[in-house]
């Protein structure tokens, strides 16, 4: 989304989108988060639990490490192939993208300390308690959404033919977090933005490194 055809980051466009996301987050916090949350809560179901499991940082890190290790073992001890190299490189990109998104997300979660919507459901309370490590105060931004977008956007960048499918999966993964009551809509919005930025930064960095070699 934020890359040119030669994998350079479009900084001006990225800055504009960052400003738009910031404005939307502020508007959501003061206005549309609650009504949108109530709307999506009615869509909760089995599909949300499935996407919730497949969208976590642990899932994507474990999957990418497993694929990377298996690919490396095949390349190292069985036979080196172009396909194997591609899988090895792709899994490494996904892993790094998810880790970068995870670091950024955890810093923001701790810094903002936003109360999760479950507290609003149960106690009618909302608010921010900065520098709080408790799960109930780590709502903003959504870690599952950031991980899903970081991994799936990266896969789409590496394999453009399936980009429409990976982006769709990422969107559903984010929406599922609202439907199950774990996050506010703006939590998901910021998580998606962080995931996209992480994927683009890693793809751009990798392309620059490859050219340098």
CB 210 within 8 A of CB 75: no
Question: CA-CA distance, 187 to 181, in Å (whole number)?
Answer: 12
pLDDT of res. 42: 80
pLDDT digits (tens, 9 = 90+) for 134-151: 999 999 999 999 999 999
Mean pLDDT (whole number) for 176-191 = 94
Q: Give residue 82's pLDDT.
A: 83
The helix/strand/coil state of 189 is: helix
Q: Residue 124: pLDDT above 80? A: yes
Question: Of the ranges 18-27, 113-122, 160-169, which is most confident?
Answer: 18-27
Q: Is the pLDDT of residue 46 over 90?
A: no
Percent of the chain at pLDDT > 90 equals 68
For residues 51-59, give the mean pLDDT.
79
Is it true that domain 11-212 has CATH number 1.10.10?
A: no
Could you state, in order of their start, the residue ranges of all structural domains in the chain? 11-212
Ordered DSSP codes for 62-120:
HHHHHHHHHHHHIIIII---HHHHHHHHHHHHHHHHHHHHHHHHHHHHHHH-BPPHHHH
**pLDDT of the residue at 162:** 93
Please tell me the predicted confidence (pLDDT) of residue 85: 87
Mention every residue, 6+ apart, whose C-beta is less than 8 A from residue 166.
152, 153, 155, 156
pLDDT at residue 32 is higher than 80: yes
pLDDT class for 209, splitting at 50, 70, 90?
low
Which of 28, 45, 19 has the alpha carbon at shortest distance from 188? 28
Q: Which residue do the tokens 């090895």 mark?
A: 88
pLDDT (0 to 100) of residue 44: 78
Q: Give helix 143-158 / helix 46-54 axis angle, nearest 10°.
A: 70
Whole-number Å distance between alpha carbons of 131 and 88: 38
Residue 212, pLDDT > 60, answer: no
What's the predicted TM-score (pTM) here? Answer: 0.92
More confident residue, 58 or 191: 191
Beta carbons of 36 and 29 less than 8 angstroms apart: no
pLDDT number for residue 206: 77
At residue 75's C-alpha, the angle toward residues 199 and 158, to 5°, is 20
Q: How far is 173 from 146, CA to CA, in rounded Å?
A: 10
Contact status, residue 189 vs residue 25, Cβ threshold 8 Å: yes
Using DSSP, state whether 9 is helix, strand or coil. Answer: strand
User: pLDDT at residue 188 above 90?
Assistant: yes
Q: Which tokens sit at 118? A: 């479950």
For the segment 65-111, what is each residue's pLDDT rounded down to a tens digit?
Answer: 999 999 888 887 777 888 888 888 999 999 999 999 999 999 999 99
């Amino acid at each position: 989304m934020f890359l040119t055809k030669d994998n350079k980051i479009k900084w001006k466009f990225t800055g504009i989108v960052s400003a738009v996301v910031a404005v939307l987050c502020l508007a959501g916090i003061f206005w549309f988060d609650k009504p949108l949350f109530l709307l999506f809560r009615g869509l909760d179901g089995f599909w949300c639990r499935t996407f919730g499991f497949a969208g976590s940082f642990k899932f994507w890190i474990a999957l990418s490490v497993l694929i990377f290790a298996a690919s490396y073992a095949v390349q190292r001890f069985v036979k080196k192939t172009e396909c194997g190299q591609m899988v090895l490189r792709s899994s490494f990109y996904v892993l790094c993208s998810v880790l970068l998104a995870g670091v950024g997300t955890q810093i923001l979660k701790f810094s903002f300390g936003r109360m999760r919507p479950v507290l609003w459901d149960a106690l009618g309370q909302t608010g921010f308690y900065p520098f709080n490590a408790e799960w109930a105060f780590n709502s903003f931004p959504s870690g599952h959404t950031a991980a899903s977008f970081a991994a799936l956007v990266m896969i789409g960048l590496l394999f453009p033919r399936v980009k429409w499918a990976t982006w769709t999966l990422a969107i559903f993964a984010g929406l599922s977090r609202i439907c199950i009551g774990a996050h506010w809509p703006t939590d998901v919005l910021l998580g998606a933005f962080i995931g996209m930025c992480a994927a683009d930064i890693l793809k751009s960095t990798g392309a620059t490194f490859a050219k340098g070699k």
